[in-house]
Structure 1
Amino acid sequence: MSIFNTLFNYIGQIYTDRLPYFPTNIRVSLLIILFCVITAIELYLYMMVRRAVRSVRSKRMKYWDDYISVLLANMIVFDETDHPHEVVAHFYPKLKKIPLRSKVVNSILVEKILTYHKNFTGKTAEVLSLMYRKLSLDKKAKRKIKNRNWETKIEGIREANEMDLMEMAHLIVEYTDDENALLRMEAQAAYIKLSQSDPFHFLDRAQERILDWHQVVLFEIITKHKKLTIPSFSKWLYSSNDTVVMLCLKLVDHFMQFDAAQEVIKLLKHQNPKIVRKAVEIIGKLELEDAESFMFEIYFNHSEEIKLEILNALGKIASGNYSEFLSSRIYSADVKIKKEALYAIKIDPDHGEEKLRTIYLQTGQENQALIKHVLDDRIR
């Protein structure tokens, strides 16, 4: 112990009594060393305190996580009554004792309720919804939606969406055309589910792009929502937002909306080739004979991709009005065009294969090989 005292006294004397007598470069070096030592000690103390706080917080979260999980599990399996309100009344006093003012505890409870609600239906889901409102968590979700932070807004919107907070629809619609793509997607998905009067109103005001992956999400929500009243999507095919038009075309296609036929045909003259191609695809699926002349009119002005789609659509319509045109395409320099034209001719159930055999006798070896390929039902 005396050795350490002697050492500390020596170091102390260096920095108090002897420091002024050292050369300048040594004084600077000693001060730098002192600064580094003090910084290292402070950093070490900070790390120790931070680790201790994190440990306490972790233990606290573990305690409340287990406590809340047990309470909710008991509430779910509670079978002494079939009335959800009675179940809520029984467990409410216990859940009310939880310190919900704590952000950590509140987030754990909300996360647990949302998870259970997502995985259960019927009485259990109803009990969870009632308890969620009874604990005024819906009011906290409303405050989250109004929060300035976009991540907090998304958190509130997801809660409203999962817990069917219909009264939040008028707040959520404000963010359906937000500049932030993630917030915009969450708001649109939630609005479709929560709006009872006009779930597709967000399409009227959409100026921002609906990204491809976002369209997939919306398409799945719309097509799988059993209680959703499906409108005629033709009204949005005039939108100046190409991504809105594309989404609505996919929905027209899925729901086979023949009432949108004229609007789809008009899109053949659209400036966006992706929209033109999708319009041609729908025309083929709906077998719109009235559109044949319009497709023929634009055929030579487009890329190979759209030309192939037009040939496919003409084959599906199979009116016979453009059989000579299809036959002429087998003399194209593009092999893909040739094959698609031959398949389009073959689709005709009455005269398709007979027509191919006739052409076979009148054409060269290369085309004959393609015709054999097309006539072989084992190959596509």
Structure 2
Amino acid sequence: MRFPLIENIIWTLVVVLIVAVIVLIIYLKILRRNIRVVESRSQKYTNYIEGLLIEYLHLDQSSENFLKTQKNIISEFKKGVKNRRKRRIITNTFLKLSQQVSGNVIDIMHNLYEEIGLIYFAKQKIKSKKWNIIALGIRDLRQFEVKKFAPIIKKFVNHKKEEVRREAHLYFLELFEFEGLQFLDTLELPLSEWDQIELLIEIEKFDNQHLLDVKKWLKSENDFVILFILNIVKIFNRLETKELLLELLHHENLDIRLKTIEVVTYFEITEAKEILVEKFESLTIKEQKALFEFLEKVATKNDSLFVLEHIKDSDFEIKSKALTILKKHDTELYNKLDKSSEDESYNRIIEYLDYSYGF
């Protein structure tokens, strides 16, 4: 039994699919060709702009054609800036070249950046409603060291998008160095661990002699600011903050207390020992471990009785450090200890210490 109608439909679909495939193949070929053409044109224009910029930066001011050549080059840049695609190429070329030059040449590039109008488009970016465009605008102003927009950039310090906040923070640090830390006064949102790493990398480039007084930020209501400043205190050896560090040992935030113990351990601030020993029972296990790391550096024979109380602590790390400290600072008391116990871990530690230090 034959079904002519169904056969006709099937053959019609086959023909339509074949035509669609042919059209799609042709379209893809045209698209690939157009992409290659655009890429070729972009590369040619990039080469042209690079050559133009290099020529501008190396103009001989003593030449009689200096002003005319300078004017013509600026005119070419201004013409290209009006086109979005060309403007992107010009901006990227400026950014790439600015990372390869230094000194007076940088200043010339920054002045040219403003003169040809790129600064106008950077300003337009930071007015955008799209967060990624705002971030790009701040990045451009940061990399071309445009300081006059600081009052505008300040409002992005607490932007809802972390990427925008990060660019704003870097803007203030890179352009104003330690003075740029003033953005912390208005910071309300968290500083992620990655943000802190990036900012600390930037801060480490600065001259330590011009470091601001950081004490006020150790009293900040923003816990993330305190944690960040504690890193700065440690990196730049700000021992004048000692009294505030001792106060922070009582802070309600555990992370701040732990970071403070890390800092006082680094500085070997012995006054912290009495505070931590007195409140030992109320400390978390993390703080107790941190205290014994601190004691490994600052303990004396006077601490023997306290340490003795913890040689059979339920935590292996505390027990190990307590026995080590006792062995190091009070050999007489250590030698009176039982060398054998029902606690196998205690026995192993004793055996290891006797072997390492000599019985």
* TM-score interval, smaller chain: 0.7 to 0.9
Structure-2 residue corresponding to 1:212 = 193
Structure-1 residue corresponding to 2:247 = 266
CA deviation after TM superposition for structure 1 residue 206, in Å: 2.4
Identity of aligned residues (%): 21
Decide which structure has the larger Cα Rg and report it.
1
Letter in 2 for 1:358: E
C-alpha separation between the residues in 2 aligned to 1:313 and 1:61?
60
Structure-2 residue corresponding to 1:357 = 331
C-alpha separation between the residues in 2 aligned to 1:95 and 1:303?
65
Letter in 1 for 2:331: R
C-alpha separation between the residues in 2 aligned to 1:203 and 1:259?
20
C-alpha separation between the residues in 2 aligned to 1:132 and 1:211?
33
CA deviation after TM superposition for structure 1 residue 312, in Å: 2.5
Contact 1:232 1:257 survives alignment (8 Å) = no
Structure-1 residue corresponding to 2:293 = 312
Q: Are 1:70 and 2:51 an aligned pair?
A: yes
C-alpha separation between the residues in 1 aligned to 2:128 and 2:68?
31
CA deviation after TM superposition for structure 1 residue 60, in Å: 0.8
Aligned length: 345
Judged with a 3 Å threshold, the aligned counterparts in structure 2 of structure 1 residues 107 and 211 are, in CA distance, closer, same or farther, namely: same
Q: Which runs of 4+ in 1 moved over 6 A?
A: 86-89
Question: Equivalent of 2:25, from 44, 53, 56?
Answer: 44
Q: Which moved more, 1:128-137 or 1:35-44?
A: 35-44
CA deviation after TM superposition for structure 1 residue 322, in Å: 3.2
Contact 1:339 1:370 survives alignment (8 Å) = no
Structure-2 residue corresponding to 1:3 = none
CA deviation after TM superposition for structure 1 residue 287, in Å: 3.0
Q: Give the 3-state SS of the residue equivalent to 1:269 in structure 2.
A: coil
Judged with a 3 Å threshold, the aligned counterparts in structure 2 of structure 1 residues 133 and 343 are, in CA distance, closer, same or farther, namely: farther
C-alpha separation between the residues in 2 aligned to 1:186 and 1:42?
46
CA deviation after TM superposition for structure 1 residue 193, in Å: 2.7
Structure-2 residue corresponding to 1:110 = 91
CA deviation after TM superposition for structure 1 residue 215, in Å: 0.8
C-alpha separation between the residues in 2 aligned to 1:196 and 1:279?
25
Letter in 1 for 2:72: P
> Structure 1: which 5+ residue stretches go unaligned?
1-21, 347-352
Q: Give the 3-state SS of the residue equivalent to 1:329 in structure 2.
A: coil
The one-character-per-residue Cα deviations of 1:126-158 (angstroms, maximum 9, x if unpaired) are 222222122121222111222222222222211
> Structure 2: which 5+ residue stretches go unaligned?
340-346
C-alpha separation between the residues in 2 aligned to 1:226 and 1:246?
22
Structure-2 residue corresponding to 1:369 = 351
Letter in 2 for 1:364: D
Letter in 1 for 2:353: I
Counterpart mapping for 1:94-243 below 5 A:
94-98=73-77, 99-195=80-176, 199-226=180-207, 229-243=210-224
C-alpha separation between the residues in 2 aligned to 1:89 and 1:125?
22
The one-character-per-residue Cα deviations of 1:191-225 (angstroms, maximum 9, x if unpaired) are 22335895223323323221111110011112213
Contact 1:158 1:190 survives alignment (8 Å) = yes
Judged with a 3 Å threshold, the aligned counterparts in structure 2 of structure 1 residues 62 and 233 are, in CA distance, closer, same or farther, namely: same
C-alpha separation between the residues in 2 aligned to 1:189 and 1:230?
17
Q: Which moved more, 1:267-276 or 1:138-147?
A: 267-276
C-alpha separation between the residues in 2 aligned to 1:227 and 1:281?
21
CA deviation after TM superposition for structure 1 residue 330, in Å: 2.7
The one-character-per-residue Cα deviations of 1:48-74 (angstroms, maximum 9, x if unpaired) are 332232122111101111112222333
Judged with a 3 Å threshold, the aligned counterparts in structure 2 of structure 1 residues 88 and 311 are, in CA distance, closer, same or farther, namely: farther
Judged with a 3 Å threshold, the aligned counterparts in structure 2 of structure 1 residues 137 and 292 are, in CA distance, closer, same or farther, namely: same
C-alpha separation between the residues in 2 aligned to 1:49 and 1:38?
16
C-alpha separation between the residues in 2 aligned to 1:305 and 1:144?
46
Contact 1:75 1:87 survives alignment (8 Å) = no
C-alpha separation between the residues in 2 aligned to 1:270 and 1:70?
59
Superposition CA RMSD, Å: 3.2
CA deviation after TM superposition for structure 1 residue 364, in Å: 3.0
Q: TM-score, normalised by structure 1?
A: 0.78
Q: TM-score, normalised by structure 2?
A: 0.83
C-alpha separation between the residues in 2 aligned to 1:267 and 1:374?
37
Structure-1 residue corresponding to 2:344 = none
CA deviation after TM superposition for structure 1 residue 169, in Å: 1.4
Question: Equivalent of 1:299, from 264, 280, 283?
Answer: 280
C-alpha separation between the residues in 2 aligned to 1:344 and 1:361?
13
C-alpha separation between the residues in 2 aligned to 1:82 and 1:374?
76
Letter in 1 for 2:250: K
Q: Give the 3-state SS of the residue equivalent to 2:150 in structure 1.
A: helix
CA deviation after TM superposition for structure 1 residue 363, in Å: 1.6
Structure-2 residue corresponding to 1:278 = 259
CA deviation after TM superposition for structure 1 residue 80, in Å: 3.5
Contact 2:295 2:325 survives alignment (8 Å) = yes
Judged with a 3 Å threshold, the aligned counterparts in structure 2 of structure 1 residues 31 and 228 are, in CA distance, closer, same or farther, namely: farther
Question: Equivalent of 1:289, from 250, 265, 270?
Answer: 270
Q: Are 1:93 and 2:98 an aligned pair?
A: no
CA deviation after TM superposition for structure 1 residue 280, in Å: 0.8
Judged with a 3 Å threshold, the aligned counterparts in structure 2 of structure 1 residues 335 and 88 are, in CA distance, closer, same or farther, namely: farther
CA deviation after TM superposition for structure 1 residue 167, in Å: 0.9
